[in-house]
Amino acid sequence: MFDLETQIHSWSDHLRARGNLSDADIHELENHLRDEIEDLIVAGLTPDEAFLISVKRLGNVVAISHEFAKVNTESLWKHLLVDPIDSLAKQLNRRDITLVVIFALLAGTLFKIPELFGFGLLDQDGEIKIVFIKNFSFFILPFISAFFLIKRKSELKTWVTILGIFILAAVIINVYPSFDPHHTEVLTIFHLPLFLWLVVGATYIGREWQGSKGRMNFIRFTGEAFIYGVLVMAGVMVLFLFTLVIFQAIQIDVQKFLAEYLLIYGGCAAAMITVYLVEAKKSVVENFAPILAKIFSPLFLIIMAAFLIVMIITGNSPFMEREFLIAFDLMLALVLGLVLYVISARDIRQPANLFDYLNLALILTALVIDGVALSAILFRMSAFGITPNKLAALGENLALLGNLAGLAWLYIGYFKRKFDFSKIIKWQTDYLYVYFIWTAIVAFIFPIVFRFN
């Protein structure tokens, strides 16, 4: 059915996205469109006919914004003299690229500095030393943060706060001792990057870090950065293997050199380039993460429903080792990812569509499966005692469960038309706090609680 309101909204969204029009301008034009439509409807046209004709009469969006720029002499003057062919944007772009190159070199060199003092990256067995793995995030994430701090023209206070968090985290992590079997240290290795990534998120969002719009953008950014990062890194690997093979053909072994330079500098460059690319293209192309999510969410739903049915029929309860609990954590994280990226690409004003119902089905199935798994782990924990690993896995599970349960509840309310979609987005973006706090607890407080063993 033709919904006039939705059509008008998407028309003005289009205008907003294309032209350099202010909100007031758009509001005025939208009113104009409505007047035109009303007149045409009075004259006997149906709403969809009236809408089409009115839009056509208003002219295409590009032409409108062009006219606006033309008659507005002030900006005409800017276009002609100060701003030939968008030179400001070009200058900024050049600056960003310079930053990317410098930061990639700095990050790579930072990896090499300990080596100068006889403290190499690899131990005798050719494995990367655990100290490096633990500190991995500190070699690259501060530079990404700095990139955004510069781009967002952050104040000195923000710089100090962010740098302070990085330095404090680095000091704490390295002052902590670690005893066999290094459980808490391993937990730190997994949770610290997540924690610091959220700190990077604060710099990415900039001033409006408390608003859900900025946070949603950061979630989108994370998804795109992940996909781009994998692609760029695959490119680095291809280069690595190609160089290796081609030099082997003339009996020269370049593996050591490649591993020490190409992989390190290439890796840092890949990370910086990814960040730059995703940031630069932001609004140019359709995001890819939501497309992936839409392809896979029905498939995951089928598999999980099948799993649930088989589990009920056979009566096999999931065998609750820690590894399995982690598997269920992963399931929840995946479901959350799928749901989140479908949401992220959604226009809040659009009515509920198929993917919203799929989302809810996916969440509910995940909740049921996880409920069974949780009851098993809780039973085992009470019988066999608590270890840091089990507690961390359990904590993750509860955090994700809370997130999904909240989403399910809000979705149901949304379908019942109790509240609108923005509430779901607000819940999800606010929930980032929980992850921030939980990862901080595991990375910094667990080692103390469990006496660093």
Partner 1 sequence: MNVSKDLVAASATPLILAILKENDSYGYAIIKRVKEMSENQLIWTEGMLYPVLHRLEEHLLIESYLSKSEAGRQRKYYRIKESGLTELELQKKQWEIVNNALARTWNEESNS
Binding-site ranges for partner 1 (CB under 8 A): 24-25, 27-29, 31-32, 34-36, 38, 58-59, 63-64, 66-68, 70-73
Helix (H, G, I), strand (E, B) or coil at 124: coil
Closest distance between partner 1 and the C-beta of residue 1, in Å? 22
Q: Which residues pair with 122 in a beta bridge?
A: 128
Give whichever of 24 and 156 is closer to partner 1, judged by the CB atom: 24
For partner 1, give the closer residue by CB, 13 or 127: 13
Least distance between partner 1 and beta carbon 81 (Å) = 19
Smallest separation (angstroms) from partner 1 to the CB of 368: 47
Report the C-alpha gap between 255 and 304 in whole angstroms. 43
The Cα 93–Cα 99 span in angstroms is 10
Of 64 and 398, the one with the shorter C-beta distance to partner 1 is 64
DSSP-assigned letters across all residues of 339-405: HHHHHHT--TTSPP-HHHHHHHHHHHHHHHHHHHHHHHHHHHHHHH---HHHHHHHHHHHHHHHHHH
How much of the chain is in helix, strand and coil states, percent to nearest 5?
80, 0, 20
Output 72 or 210, the one with its CB closest to partner 1: 72
Distance in Å, CB of 6 to partner 1, minimum: 17
Considering just the CA atoms, what is the radius of gyration of the chain in Å?
Answer: 27
| Shortest Å, Cβ 73 to partner 1 | 7
Minimum distance of partner 1 from residue 46's CB (angstroms): 19
Nearest residue (CB) to partner 1, 65 versus 109: 65
Residue of 389, 238, 260 lying closest to 325 (CA atoms): 389
Nearer to partner 1, 72 or 91 (CB): 72
CB of 27 to partner 1, least distance (A): 7
Taking the complex as a whole, the smallest distance from the CB of residue 17 to partner 1 amounts, in Å, to: 18
CA pair distance 254, 244, nearest whole angstrom: 6
Q: Please answer whether residues 340 and 395 qualify as being in contact, where contact means their C-beta atoms are separated by less than 8 angstroms.
A: no
In the complex with partner 1, the residue whose CB is nearer, 29 or 199, is 29
Whole-angstrom distance, CA of residue 302 vs CA of residue 308: 10
Shorter beta-carbon distance to partner 1: residue 23 or 180: 23
Measured at the alpha carbon of residue 300, what is the angle toward residues 297 and 301, in degrees to the nearest 5?
Answer: 85
Helices assigned H by DSSP within 206-259: 212-248, 255-257
C-beta closer to partner 1: residue 34 or 380: 34
In the complex, the smallest distance separating the C-beta of residue 57 from partner 1, rounded to whole angstroms, is 8
DSSP structure string for 50-110: HHHHHHHHH--HHHHHHHHHHH-HHHHHIIIII-GGGHHHHHHHHHHHHHHHHHHHHHHHH
Q: What HEC string does 272-286 produce?
A: HHHHHHHHHHCCCCC
